[in-house]
């Protein structure tokens, strides 16, 4: 029996969404709706310092305001689609990887991490050398007695991961050379993005992942983790990014036209039309409902080039 197509939108409730978040949300929604699939909403609120319950409620309201609905996932009072309530599931997944001998403690300080990493040739990303992989029990004990609390990394092989992105085309990465051993659990005990998002996508049956180009480099390690966890690998589609006129990527930190501002300036249909025109789905920024764009959507129209939003920053 063929499994249903299931996409997801997985925002972080660390503040109001900004224009770039809305752009990615609209494209994720159009992708799955154009395929006749289900949309799942998951709240990725792992960071206890930044994510607040009130942001979660506001985020859901903002998505509904824009006309982006979902079939499965988050509802007020339903915790199983909120990452902060899934810690035991992540712990169980972590223990399975640990039992396979793949996980090890890393005691490196920030300064030591810089010394123990090398810049990746293409983009400057620093690849961890595996410095703590070979620590003896005595060395680990000495570090812990000195007050060091380890993060936990997974040891990656020199395996080449290849996949075809639904928008950016063929991709490949050699894990140990291009990403290195990455963190699964932080030193404060919080499970890392790579573990949580991969385990959740697998367990929730997500088979279409649409997100910004800035996360494309995470995909090979997530594919590898998916296979280690025994899940089927989704199809990944990455969107171009929205940038300001000076080339800077839009971000929550800089409050680039958050949706609170946008809701005061535009109707949902006006904003949807502006986003759709920015994406190349329609030719003119005319008011339109999200559902009316489903028949117009294709990745060929969206393309891969970053662009400035039609809305002035």
Count of domains observed in the chain:
2
Lowest mean pLDDT among 130-139, 142-151, 238-247, 279-288: 238-247
Asked whether residue 99 carries a pLDDT value surpassing 60, the answer given is yes
Mean pLDDT, all residues of the chain: 91
What is the C-alpha separation between 163 and 161, in angstroms, rounded? 7
CB 83 within 8 A of CB 46: yes
Quick one: 174 and 292 in the same domain?
no
Residue 169 falls inside a structural domain = yes
282 and 185 inside one domain: no
Torsion of the alpha carbons at 149, 89, 193 and 147, rounded to the nearest 10: 0
pLDDT in tens, 45-85: 988 778 888 889 999 999 999 999 999 999 988 889 999 99
Both 81 and 198 in one domain: the answer is yes
Per-residue pLDDT, averaged over 130-149, amounts to 94
pLDDT > 60? residue 253 = no
Cα dihedral 21, 23, 24, 30 sign: positive
Predicted local distance difference test score (pLDDT) of residue 118 = 59
Residues 280-299, mean pLDDT to the nearest whole number: 97
Q: For residues 151 and 251, state if they share a domain.
A: no
Question: CA-to-CA distance for 38 and 29, rounded, in angstroms?
Answer: 9
Q: Tell whether 151 is covered by a domain.
A: yes
239 and 207: one domain? yes
- 117 pLDDT exceeds 50? yes
Looking at the fold, whether 298 and 235 belong to one and the same domain comes out as: yes
Q: For position 31, which CATH number holds?
A: 3.40.50.620
Least confident of 69-73, 208-212, 258-262, 299-303: 258-262
The pLDDT of residue 251: 63
Residue 286's alpha-carbon distances to 39, 68, 224, 282, 306, in angstroms, are: 26, 18, 43, 8, 21
* Cα 170-174-178 angle, rounded to 5 deg: 105
Question: What ranges in the chain are assigned the alpha helix state H?
Answer: 19-34, 53-66, 87-99, 110-115, 137-145, 175-178, 193-203, 219-229, 259-265, 268-279, 299-302
Residue 217: other Cβ atoms inside 10 A:
17
Kindly indicate the confidence band of residue 121, based on its pLDDT and cuts at 50, 70 and 90.
very low
CA-based nearest residue to 69, from 81, 61, 77: 61
Percent of the chain with pLDDT over 70: 93
User: Strand, helix or coil at 179?
Assistant: coil
CA pair distance 313, 54, nearest whole angstrom: 26
User: Who wins on pLDDT, 269 or 50?
Assistant: 269
Mean pLDDT of 88-114: 93
Classify residue 49: in a domain, yes or no: yes
Running DSSP on this structure, what letter comes out for residue 211? Answer: E
- Provide the 10 A C-beta neighbour count for residue 83: 25
Residue 66 belongs to domain spanning: 6-88+194-302
Indicate which CATH number applies to the domain containing 113: 3.90.800.10
Residues 78 and 225 in one domain: yes
Same domain flag for 179 and 198: no
Residues 68, 112: one domain? no
Residue 122 has pLDDT above 60, yes or no: no
Over 70: is that where the pLDDT of 242 sits?
Answer: yes
Same domain, 126 and 269: no
> For the CA atoms of 53, 57, 60, 64, what is the dihedral angle to 10 degrees?
-170
DSSP letters, 75-140, are: BTTBGGGBGGG-HHHHHHHHHHHHHTT-EEEE---HHHHHHTEEE-TTT-PEEE--TTTT--HHHH
Q: Which two three-digit tokens encode residue 242?
A: 């929205």
Task: For residue 117, list its beta bridge partners.
Answer: 128
Burial class of residue 200 (count of CB atoms within 10 Å of its CB; 0-12, 13-18, 19+): buried
The predicted structure's pLDDT at residue 240: 96
Does the pLDDT at position 126 exceed 60?
yes
C-alpha to C-alpha distance for 282 and 290, rounded to whole angstroms:
12
For residues 234 and 301, what is the distance between their CA atoms, to the nearest angstrom? Answer: 22
Q: Do 255 and 223 fall within a single domain?
A: yes
pLDDT digit string (tens) for 149-206? 999 999 999 999 999 999 999 999 999 999 999 999 999 999 999 999 999 999 999 9
Mean pLDDT (whole number) for 241-249: 76
- Give dist(CA 140, CA 136) in Å, integer: 6
**0.95 surpassed by pTM:** no
- Same-domain status, 186 and 142: yes
pLDDT at 283 over 60: yes
């Amino acid at each position: 029996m063929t499994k249903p197509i299931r996409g997801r939108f997985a925002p972080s409730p660390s503040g109001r969404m900004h224009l770039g978040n809305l752009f990615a949300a609209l494209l994720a929604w159009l992708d799955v709706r154009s395929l006749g699939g289900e949309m799942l909403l998951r709240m990725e609120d792992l960071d206890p310092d930044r994510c607040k319950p009130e942001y979660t409620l506001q985020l859901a309201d903002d998505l509904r305001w824009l006309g982006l609905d979902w079939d499965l996932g988050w509802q007020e009072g339903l915790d199983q689609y909120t990452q902060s309530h899934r810690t035991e599931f992540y712990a169980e997944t972590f223990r399975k990887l640990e039992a396979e001998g793949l996980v090890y403690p890393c005691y490196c300080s920030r300064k030591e991490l810089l010394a123990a990493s090398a810049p990746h040739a293409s983009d400057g990303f620093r690849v961890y050398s595996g410095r703590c992989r070979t620590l003896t029990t005595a060395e680990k004990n000495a570090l812990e007695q000195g007050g060091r609390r380890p993060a936990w990394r997974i040891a990656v092989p020199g395996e080449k991961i290849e996949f075809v992105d639904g928008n950016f085309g063929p991709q490949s990465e050699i894990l140990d050379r291009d990403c290195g051993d990455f963190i699964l659990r932080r030193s404060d005990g919080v499970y890392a993005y790579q573990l949580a998002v991969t385990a959740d996508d697998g367990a929730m049956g997500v088979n279409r992942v649409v997100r910004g180009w800035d996360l494309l480099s995470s995909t090979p390690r997530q594919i590898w983790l998916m296979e280690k966890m025994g899940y089927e690998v989704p199809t990944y589609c990455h969107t171009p990014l929205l940038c300001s006129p000076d080339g800077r990527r839009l971000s929550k930190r800089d409050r680039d036209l958050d949706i609170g501002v946008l809701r005061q300036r535009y109707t949902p249909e006006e904003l949807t039309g502006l986003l759709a025109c920015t994406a190349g789905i329609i030719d003119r920024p005319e008011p339109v409902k999200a559902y009316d764009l489903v028949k117009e959507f294709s990745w060929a129209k969206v393309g891969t080039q970053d662009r400035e939003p039609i809305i002035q920053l």
